[in-house]
Chains A and B, each alone.
Chain A
Amino acid sequence: MSLSAHEFQFVSSLVRREASIVLEPGKEYLVEARLLPLARKAGLASVTEFMLRAQGPSGRADRDAIVDALTTNETSWFRDREPFSAMTDLVIPNLVKSRGPSRSMRVWSAASSSGQEAYTLAILLKENLPPGWTYEILGTDISTEMLAKAERGRYSQLEVNRGLPAPLLVKYFTRSGPEWEVAAPIKKAVSFKRLNLAAPFPPMPTFDVVFLRNVLIYFDVETKRAVLKRIRNLLKPDGWLFLGAAETTMGIDDGFERVVTGRTSAYRPRTGTSAPVGVTGKG
């Protein structure tokens, strides 16, 4: 059974209003795939029944669940290796040179979903920073359900099978019943907070590196521009921004310059005073 035009319209207006996410026609399959588990969880026979309940006067919790379900990205450890290789080969050595006096680094996983990216970054820094350096990772997401999962830091065997090298699994995780739990020293370096990227940010510290992957694709151009500007204001002048493989700042925010590194790109504030590193792309 496929979603009716009315149902799709309801869902797309809801996520546009609550999360500034644009669901264009043609994404019906995505909506249906994400809502089916919600219907099952609610003990209802179909997505249509679930939609009826969500649109009713007592459907607030269902509507929140819909926003949650449609703003959640699948993440999995080191699977998308390129940005992490860029971190170890280029960004960390570069920042270690320039952050010598403070010996500390702050990284933001700006759409942290169930937490894998934030913990991956913590593991990466732990493995690659010289002794005596400190680091903190902030993970933010719009989905309270995902934040709760991220904070627990417990993952199923299926989840740890996906893209987490076995030597790192045994080094940084402990078995906890059927699940694997992120070890305390890594957990201690990571905190999670709810944040809607599409709305003005609360007061936040500045960051050396921001990971904002596979989020901008959901926003319209105006929202993309506003998000990138807000992030630029929180990025240190010689900091680094990583976007998803299908995303760019080009033509949206001229305040960033692109740096090609390996098979991926990173972005730096154009006003940065540090010497350029790598090859600057033309766009």
Chain B
Amino acid sequence: MVIDDSRAMRLILRRIVSGLNFEVVEAGNGREAMDRLTELEVVPELALIDWNMPEMNGLEFVTAVRADKKYRGMTLMMVTTESEHGQIVRALAAGAHEYVIKPFTPDAIVDKLVMLGLIPDGAHA
């Protein structure tokens, strides 16, 4: 699941993860993402989450997902311009597993997914 209020960023992230054989669902903010989660039959393995979004921001989304046992298997990765030390600590404390600071290279996303065990090492070109 790709959650970002920028369509361009959603497209970039969609391209990266669909290249790694993930099926992608998009949402424009945290609220929309929560709605999509209730509609989906299968819990997504991974959510890439922007921080600053209208209605429900990324941190609020992480907190909400972590509070619901149904979504325990979801890996949550922040992908955001928020780059202060304290912000990263807050996101991790709220339950995010990983954190990528924008701007990023596609390899950064791939590296993190390998480290998280979501894709095998060497699976990507």
B98 touches A79 (CB 8 A): no
Interface string of A256-283 (1 = CB under 8 A from B): 0000000100000000000000000000
A170 touches B111 (CB 8 A): no
B111 touches A166 (CB 8 A): no
Q: Which one, A80, A81, A161, A165, contacts B101 given CB within 8 A?
A: A161
Count of chain A residues with Cβ under 8 Å from any Cβ of B? 21
| Least CB distance, B60 to chain A, in whole angstroms | 19
A165 touches B100 (CB 8 A): no
Q: Which one, B85, B96, B98, B103, contacts A174 given CB within 8 A?
A: B85
Say whether B83 faces chain A, with CB atoms less than 8 Å apart. Answer: yes
List the B side residues contacting A175 at CB < 8 Å.
83-85
List the A side residues contacting B96 at CB < 8 Å.
166
Say whether A189 faces chain B, with CB atoms less than 8 Å apart. Answer: no
List the A side residues contacting B89 at CB < 8 Å.
170
Say whether B99 faces chain A, with CB atoms less than 8 Å apart. Answer: yes
| Cβ-closest chain A residue relative to B84 | A175
Say whether A82 faces chain B, with CB atoms less than 8 Å apart. Answer: yes
B88 touches A158 (CB 8 A): no
Within the assembled complex, what's the spacing in Å between the Cα atoms of A157 and B111? Answer: 14
| Least CB distance, B79 to chain A, in whole angstroms | 10
A162 touches B108 (CB 8 A): yes
Say whether A78 faces chain B, with CB atoms less than 8 Å apart. Answer: yes
B108 touches A166 (CB 8 A): no
Say whether B71 faces chain A, with CB atoms less than 8 Å apart. Answer: no
- The interface of chain B, by Cβ under 8 A from chain A, is 83-85, 88-89, 91-92, 96-101, 103-105, 107-108, 111-112, 114-115, 121
Question: 14 other contacts beyond A162-B107, A166-B97, with CB at 8 A cut-off?
Answer: A79-B114, A157-B101, A158-B108, A160-B101, A161-B100, A161-B101, A162-B111, A166-B88, A169-B88, A169-B99, A170-B88, A174-B85, A175-B85, A263-B121
